[in-house]
Homo-oligomer: A and B are copies of this chain.
Amino acid sequence: MNEAAENSPEWSDIGTQVTRLVREIIARVADKWTMPIIEALHEEPNARFNQLQRAVDGISQKVLTQSLRQLESEGLVERTAYAETPPRVEYKLTPLGESLGEAFCGVWIWAEKHCQQIEASRAAFQEKRK
């Protein structure tokens, strides 16, 4: 039995009820950068902008700004600007943001457990295609 499903309703039940809105939300939060940012903010609460950019690894300033604004608009991240010079801005997860991280935990565990197998599959598929 799979540990991620033990205390969840059968996911087929969920699937049949799903609305367009839910799908849109999932597609949104499951993009390239959302989880890395949420992870970084979980690791370092009240992180500042440049600190976050270093933590996220590979994200550009532009995309980090965009992502943070979106996460803020969705209530997943809270932004606090202090009126100082030089300016200081801190970001932290809201409880909703933390709960998304927890919800994603199952996927993370799945990926850790099976990433070797997936890599092997890809390699085998390439071989077969030759």
**Residues of chain A whose beta carbon lies under 8 Å from any beta carbon of chain B:** 2-9, 11-12, 14-19, 21-23, 25-27, 29-32, 35-36, 39, 42-43, 72-75, 96, 99-112, 114-115, 117-119, 121-122, 125-126
A108/B18 contact (C-beta < 8 A), A12-B42, A75-B121, A121-B73 known: yes
Main SS at interface, chain A: helix
Contact A106-B12, Cβ < 8 Å, known A25-B118, A114-B96: no
Nearest B-chain residue to A2, judged by Cβ: B102
Contacts of A25 in B (CB 8 A): 111, 114-115, 118
Q: A43-B16, A103-B2, A115-B22 are in contact. Are A11 and B74 (CB under 8 A)?
A: no
Given contacts A118-B74, A119-B21, A108 and B3 within 8 Å (CB-CB): no
B3 touching A7, Cβ below 8 Å: yes
**Interface core residue of A35, A43, A104 (most chain B CB under 10 Å):** A104
CB pair B101–A11 under 8 Å, yes or no, is yes
